Amino acid sequence: MKGIAGSKESNDCLISVETNDKTTIEINSIVGAFFYNQILKTIEDTLTEQGLKNVKVVVVDKGALDYTIKSRLLTAIERMKEDV
Amino acid sequence: MFRSLLFIPGNNPSMLQNADVFSADAIIFDLEDAISISEKNNARNLVRNYLINSSVLPKQIILRVNAIDSEWFYKDIELLKTNKIDYLLIPKMDKLTSDKLTVLLSEYEAKNNMPETKVIALVETARGVEELPLYAENKRLIGLFIGAEDLANDLEIKRTESSEEIFYARSRIVYQSVINHLIPIDTPYTNINNPEGLLRDSTYAMSLGMKAKASIHPNQLDTINKVFSPSPEEIKWAQEIIKINLSKPGHGVFQYQGKMIDKPIINRAEKIIEKAKIFEIL
């Protein structure tokens, strides 16, 4: 099962989530040098909030704020759950 | 009270994060026409998290939800739980929609222990225009907003630069607004590259009695704010009328610059000053 949400527009991010045998998070960000840890925490916190384990998350970030990253991840998760 | 309202598509992070810096009196976060069917949940999630997590928000926030009989309406109104939304903008308002909306929102508010939600009616069908007297008294309403593009589609007519084709609807909205103490809000001027046209259209709408105008681009806001604000000359006139009135207690009528000034004129002067204060130009 896989879900994708967001875009590669400026201030947005494209996030994909799919089922996996363990949780992995891959972040490619234009501001990664400064904000990698913050983006990672947003992803981890959101996965914890959603009670989600064993997923592969890939983030292509174009300078999105935390709430945008969280929103895109939530939508990607919803879409993954609908992808049966 | 507002002069200018700016539509922001709910799925646009760049515009959302700048929403508080635009000079609009109110921002309309759009979950309806600006959002494709496949992106409805994406936009809703983005607006919700923006409202919850942003430390600085626009002065007044309006949420344009999807039609009340759509599959998205109930999910859209869940955003009321953020306690950050001042008004809902309800598409395709008519008598039946108004009645249904009252029931739906009343049930939702009771279930969630929420205060009464205030609403702006988007009047954008022939039925919506004709049935105005049947629903404009709805106590949830604070404004009537003419949606000229959808109205033109409903009437199967072309929108023109002069907007003569919506004169009747504009006037009907103004009259019903005045009767019911609502804010008449004019339709956006859609040619964002024609500032002269925007000025002409705004000035004409204002002359008919519209009190505010929606916009689809931030570069339209300064013109709209200027047109729908009291001018410096009006403010000066109003200040002088009020000053003379206060200096002549008990005089029902007096003269100013050769013209008779009575209660309706004094009331008008007071409204001008009130507006000027609200819009922080006095």
Write the pLDDT tens digit of every residue in B212-252: 999 999 999 999 999 999 999 999 999 999 998 888 777 77
| Chain B touched by A16 (CB under 8 Å) | no
Closest CA to B87 of B149, B5, B174, B170: B5
CB B208 within 8 A of CB B174: yes
Measured in degrees and rounded to the nearest 5, phi and psi for residue B159 equal: -75, 140
pLDDT digits (tens, 9 = 90+) for B58-83: 999 999 999 999 999 999 999 999 99
Sign of CA dihedral A12, A14, A18, A21: negative
Distance from CA of B22 to the nearest CA of A (A): 17
Residues B195-218: pLDDT tens digits? 999 999 999 999 999 999 999 999
Q: How far away is chain B from the Cα of A26, in angstroms, using its nearest Cα?
A: 21
Tell me the chain A residues in contact with residue B48 when contact means C-beta distances shorter than 8 Å. Answer: 71
- Which residue of B lies nearest to A15 if distances are taken between CA atoms? B42
Contacts across the A-B interface (CB distance below 8 Å):
44
What does the pLDDT read at residue B143? 98
User: CA–CA separation, A8 vs A3, rounded Å?
Assistant: 16
Chain centroid to CA B34: 18
In angstroms, the CA B186 to CA B164 distance is 14
Residues B116-149 pLDDT 10s: 999 999 999 999 999 999 999 999 999 999 999 9
Using DSSP bridges, classify how beta strands B183-186 and B212-215 pair: parallel, antiparallel or unpaired. parallel
The reply to whether residue B13 touches residue A66, judged by beta carbons under 8 angstroms, is no
User: What distance in Å separates residue A13's CA from the closest CA in chain B?
Assistant: 9
Q: Is the pLDDT of residue A84 over 80?
A: no
Please write the tens of the pLDDT for every residue from A72-82: 999 999 999 99
- B118 and B211 together in one domain: yes
The backbone torsions φ and ψ at residue B200, rounded to the nearest 5 degrees and listed phi first, read -65, -45
| Statement to judge: residues B109 and B214 lie in one domain | yes
Where in the sequence is the domain holding B247, given as residue range(s)? 232-278
- Given A10, A11, A71, which is nearest B45 (Cβ)? A71
Write down the ipTM of this complex. 0.93
The percent of residues in chain A predicted with pLDDT above 90, rounded, is: 96
Residues B77 and B166 in one domain: yes
Q: What is the pLDDT of residue B267?
A: 92
Same domain, B216 and B194: yes
Whether residues B175 and B247 fall in one domain: no
